[in-house]
Chains A and B, each alone.
Chain A
């Protein structure tokens, strides 16, 4: 399946604004991110949140063909 990835803030500076990826059916948001982190190990330590089609999701959210997965650091004001 094809998923469009988008990156923001510090992640955009490292990875660009986005890319289209072919992923195995049933891949989760977290797994898609781990696959990227395997290619760019510096990403592994980064704190990220996921949004699919502009809605926040947990890392365990399963992606579907045509989804847009946005990955970004917690919002600037993301404090308790």
Chain B
């Protein structure tokens, strides 16, 4: 299951999609929309997707993960459109024979998704809205597509159900100076 959807994500659907009797582990990651970011109250989030390319890039990532780890199945779903605060905007499920590779692959997949899958986030506050991510600086070369390093790169694989958290705050902080 690889999709961009406009309705709420059903985490159970992803777990069903990665169900495999040979798998001894299934990891589910949910990225949920935060009510506060960089000290501002977020009223809602809006995601814009280049949908056909986003699906292709997610399929490519899933295939890479399967080559890199002994993973059984991968499911990736991203919301597009308005996502109310507190709901999942992205979900990734991975099943594998054992938990280590399921955690590592899920961690790697969400990190790569946020770098290369063409979906953009706009935060709406009272009295304004801002696109998240660097918007200034001229043309840039293509994002790294090589499989970087060893499997050990996916560190801290404990985030089974988390929040978009720190990375989002960093991004916003960087997005500011150009405005």
The answer to whether A45 and B138 touch (CB under 8 A), given A54-B53, A56-B145, A77-B113, is yes
Complex Cα gap A78–B117 (Å): 9
* Interface members, chain A 1-19 (any B CB < 8 Å): 6, 8-10, 12
- Would A76 and B132 count as touching, CB distance under 8 A? yes
Complex Cα gap A10–B137 (Å): 14
In this complex, how many residues of chain B approach chain A with their Cβ under 8 Å: the count is 34
* Interface members, chain B 39-71 (any A CB < 8 Å): 48, 50, 52-53, 56
Point out which of A12, A33, A57, A79 has the most chain B C-beta atoms below 10 A from its C-beta: A79
In this complex, how many residues of chain A approach chain B with their Cβ under 8 Å: the count is 30
- Would A51 and B53 count as touching, CB distance under 8 A? yes
Asked if A64 is at the interface (CB within 8 A of a chain B CB), the reply is no
Min Cβ gap B19→A in Å is 28
Q: Is the interface of A mostly helix, strand, loop or mixed?
A: mixed
Which of B7-15, B22-30, B119-127, B153-161 lies at the interface? B119-127
- Would A59 and B141 count as touching, CB distance under 8 A? yes
Complex Cα gap A45–B138 (Å): 5
- Would A8 and B121 count as touching, CB distance under 8 A? no
- Would B133 and A8 count as touching, CB distance under 8 A? no
Question: Residue on B with the closest CB to A71?
Answer: B139
Counting from the closest, the 3 A-B pairs by CB-CB distance are A77-B114, A47-B137, A9-B120
Of the A-B pairs whose beta carbons lie under 8 Å apart in the complex, a sample of 23, sorted by A's number, is: A8-B50, A8-B120, A10-B135, A46-B135, A47-B134, A47-B138, A47-B140, A49-B140, A49-B143, A54-B53, A58-B141, A58-B142, A70-B50, A72-B118, A73-B134, A73-B135, A74-B140, A75-B119, A75-B133, A77-B113, A77-B114, A77-B167, A79-B170
